[in-house]
Amino acid sequence: MADTGLPPHDDSGQAGSVRGLLAAALSYAGARGKLLQIEAQEAGTHVGRVATCAVFAAGALMVAWLLAVPAIVILLADWVRRPWAHVALALAGLHLVAGFVMLLMARRRWRRARLFEETLNQFQKDHEWVAPNQSPPRK
């Protein structure tokens, strides 16, 4: 038999279809990985900016409040004609309630955050596209 210079091929075409399927799967995984990488960078940038602003704001507010509280306690104690310790305890209780409410609000907002939304949407579309083409599981 003469050598034609072409690689030997399988008459059934299975090798070509397996290679094609593998190439498509690798291409799909690469595209999804790239999308995930882009969204992770965007999410990291967003979370970093918000965290930086929050840290600086919390620091500034804490320093201002620590400087103002003693003056507020003394002024309120003089105004309501009560000992300063009673006023300080009342303000401490008010701060505990306000802090707890703010923690609940932060938790709710964190749960509503829509990070990696496009990646999840693409995975859902992929699932919907593949699902009708699958045969039902055999019993």
Rounded to a whole number of angstroms, the distance between the first and last alpha carbons of the chain is 50
Q: What percent of the chain has pLDDT over 90?
A: 39
CB within 8 A of 73, min separation 6: which ones? Answer: 84, 87, 88, 91
What average pLDDT does range 11-27 have in this prediction?
77
pTM over 0.75? The answer is no
pLDDT band at 133 (very low <50, low <70, confident <90, very high): low
Q: What is the mean pLDDT of the chain?
A: 83
Given a contact cutoff of 8 angstroms between Cβ atoms, the answer to whether 116 and 33 are in contact is no
